Amino acid sequence: MGNIAYEINACLKDHRMKRRIKKAGVITSDFIKKEYGKSKQLRFISGAPFLPIGYIKHKSPIMKRNVVNAYTKEGREEIHRNLSTIDVNILRFLMEHPIPQRSIEYNDNRIALYCA
């Protein structure tokens, strides 16, 4: 992310952007305060926090099973084996009876959470 941050910071130093970017401001979100509050790269544009891309941290997944993936025959078989314990009648009911007041994405997530 450091290379991307370097390119973005070069654009932010443009004379038109310099006037809009401030170092002082108020962080209203607890998440932003917790994750990015200690960063010296945090800036504010029109009072809203502009998060520093170079400050993003990444953790590799621990205890991830290498067998389960969609790119090999064995991985796909493992995925299907994990899904075999799902009650098909309940899954069919969820698909045929969506909640009409909610979005398609909500109903899709409802089915995905049942499968998980």
Residue 111 in any domain: the answer is: yes
- Residues 7 and 47 occupy one common structural domain: yes
Residue 66 in any domain: the answer is: no
Instruction: Quote the pTM value.
Output: 0.45
Q: Using CA atoms, how far apart are residues 16 and 7, in angstroms rounded to an integer? A: 16
Range of the domain at 25: 2-55
Residue 103 in any domain: the answer is: yes
CA angle 51, 52, 58 (to 5 degrees): 105
Residue 62 in any domain: the answer is: no
Q: What is the pLDDT along the chain (116 residues), one digit of tens a residue?
A: 778 888 887 887 777 777 777 888 888 888 888 888 888 888 888 888 888 887 777 788 787 777 778 788 888 888 888 778 888 899 999 999 999 999 999 999 999 999 88
Question: How many independent structural domains does the chain possess?
Answer: 2
